[in-house]
A = this chain, B = another copy of it.
């Protein structure tokens, strides 16, 4: 047991998966939880992954030694203000937001003296959301990036690190701004692009009836999975990681136009060289253990 009482604010995919994982590995003495919507609280009660479900964040954090802010990035400030007067001295507050600079700006000023704030971002998720979507294995072999500042208590960081390691994750530390740039490339911009492509297909669907869905091939199928992620979470990500997103989108558009021009002018050498270069990066990801290399993607009988 690492924490006596863990309070989950927000009961979506990440928080419910944390609850399942903490229970599986006996990492928390007690787990409390709350969510804004009565329906979510009711589902959480029914599923029973928390010991107590409260109507307010204030009640939920009472006597907790770890508080997890698992709400959309745009809601972090209000939640932090609400719980601040009720936090126990010595407690640690962490978050699971996909943007770190903006969350630190919103939350840190609300945290009272004697309470530790350790911002974090588990790089794990599915396209599903809500309390029913959680499962204990979500964090297995995934990274959680903690972005403590110079003032953050190293003991609080170490304890939080061992919780995440207990839930199966690998933990690393990074500067918040650097986190936001790297994630813009590896996650935020790919999501925006997938949303865009699926939107284009949806427009065309009115012309081609259900064919776009029926004949959804590999490329598009993966895009729709990405583009099915929670709209509120992603709206907040783009609004709060604006600078890095616009910077990377600018680079993306430049490169896309160069490829588009190669198609228009029939420059096959340019296309071939580009596609050969990108193929190599995939090898790196498999070697880094961030995806599997099964020939059939886990479908079919050879698995």
Contacts and interface: CB of A to CB of B under 8 A. Distances in A.
B183 A282 contact: no
A234 B271 contact: yes
Contacts of A201: 185-186, 281
B281 A196 contact: no
Given A137-B299, A251-B200, A260-B249, A222 B212 contact: no
A59 interface: no
B281 A235 contact: no
Interface residues of A, number: 109
A299 B123 CA distance: 15
Contacts of A195: 259, 274-275, 278
A137 B295 CA distance: 10
B203 A285 contact: no
A285 B226 contact: no
Interface in A265-303: 266, 268, 271-272, 274-279, 281-285, 288, 290-292, 295-302
A196 B135 CA distance: 33
A279 to B, nearest CB: 5
Nearest to A263: B238
A213 B295 CA distance: 21
A78 interface: no
Given A264-B246, A290-B221, A300-B138, A185 B199 contact: no
A54 interface: no
Contacts of A215: 123, 143, 145, 172, 182-183, 186
A190 B219 contact: yes
* Assembly stoichiometry (copies): 2
A183 B204 CA distance: 12
A208 B249 CA distance: 17
A27 B63 CA distance: 69
Contacts of A239: 263, 266, 268, 271
A28 to B, nearest CB: 20
Contacts of A210: 284, 288
Contacts of A214: 143, 288, 290
Contacts of A221: 285, 290-291
Interface in A224-242: 224-229, 231-232, 234-236, 238-239, 242
Given A186-B212, A187-B217, A219-B226, 15 more contacts: A135-B295, A135-B296, A137-B302, A190-B197, A190-B220, A190-B223, A193-B193, A193-B197, A195-B274, A196-B255, A200-B248, A234-B275, A235-B275, A236-B268, A238-B263
